[in-house]
Amino acid sequence: MATRAKYSRIVLKLSGEALAGDAGFGIDPKIIQSIAKQIKEIVELGVEVAVVVGAGNIWRGKIGSEMGMDRATADYMGMLATVMNALALQDGLEKIGVETRVQTSIEMRQVAEPYIRRRAIRHLEKKRVVIFAAGTGNPYFSTDTTAALRAAEIEAEVILMAKNKVDGVYSADPRVDRNAVKYTQLSYLDVLNEGLGVMDSTASSLCMDNDIPLIVFSITEPGNIKRVVQGEEIGTIVRGK
Ligand code: UDP
């Protein structure tokens, strides 16, 4: 097995669900510890790590709008919820000696730095983990789109999409359909045409147009982030047209 990293700069996309553990909601401190340890392992390999956090464990704009709320307001709530997850992850990382910075797309200077691209890159060069919070700062977008956008901006080589208990992309939901088949490789057009629930279409198009590969894998097994970074093919890789 390779001991060196295959990538020098990555974006790790953590859905809110990945932070929730078995409860399915909220933040599980044990999960935060496990993820922080896994991130530390790749920082020690010399990989520059930017993290984009979601908020499905706390709030999704869509749910609010289905309950009759104004969609944009509900989306802003979702973006604020990502900041809570970012702070929890920052705390977990700093507790084990990993230097971090949180940058938010909605300014809240008492809590974190505002998102400034050049500054984020500088932090990465100094081997600080940069956690991007508050999504893109715009309603009607997702944190998957944020991951695609930030990856393009900071010139990351790949997006690692860490899933909770799902180890890649399947033809159907493997938790529901026993005949679901796991794909090892897909193109973005496959994802878009077949409506595979990997990421939303805005995020997929952005990745496709900017040639950013995506690796979908399970974060449930400790050490998986390192495996992916070292080039082990354990999930599904999405790239190209
Ligand atoms: N959100 C948004 N704009 C963004 C990113 C996120 O409005 O650029 C809101 C949206 O309401 C979304 C919520 O924040 O439902 C949480 O993000 P997401 O659903 O992507 O989280 P994940 O599924 O990754 O946990």
Indicate the DSSP class of residue 115.
P
Domain 9-239: top CATH class: alpha beta
Summarize the confidence of residues 33-55 as an average pLDDT.
97
Q: What are phi and psi of 63, to 5 degrees?
A: -65, -45
* Distance from chain centroid for Cα 31: 15
159 CA to middle of ligand 1, Å?
17
- pLDDT on residue 173: 86
Cα 55 to averaged position of ligand 1 atoms, centre (Å): 6
Average pLDDT of span 27-43: 96
Q: Which atom of ligand 1 is nearest to the CA of 140?
A: 7
Q: Residue 189 has what pLDDT?
A: 96
Question: Of 7, 85, 24, 17, which is closest to residue 51 (Cα–Cα)?
Answer: 85
- What are the distances in angstroms from CA 223 to CA 27, 38, 47, 94, 187? 20, 6, 15, 19, 26
The answer to whether 182 touches 174, Cβ cutoff 8 Å, is yes
Which residue type, as a one-letter code, is found at position 85?
N
For residues 136-147, average pLDDT:
98
Distance CA 19, CA 42 (A): 19
Q: Where are the domains of the chain?
A: 9-239
Q: Whose CA is nearest to atom 21 of ligand 1?
A: 54
Report whether residue 162 contacts ligand 1, using a CB cutoff of 6 Å.
no
Question: What would you report as the CA-atom Rg of the chain, rounded to the nearest whole angstrom?
Answer: 17
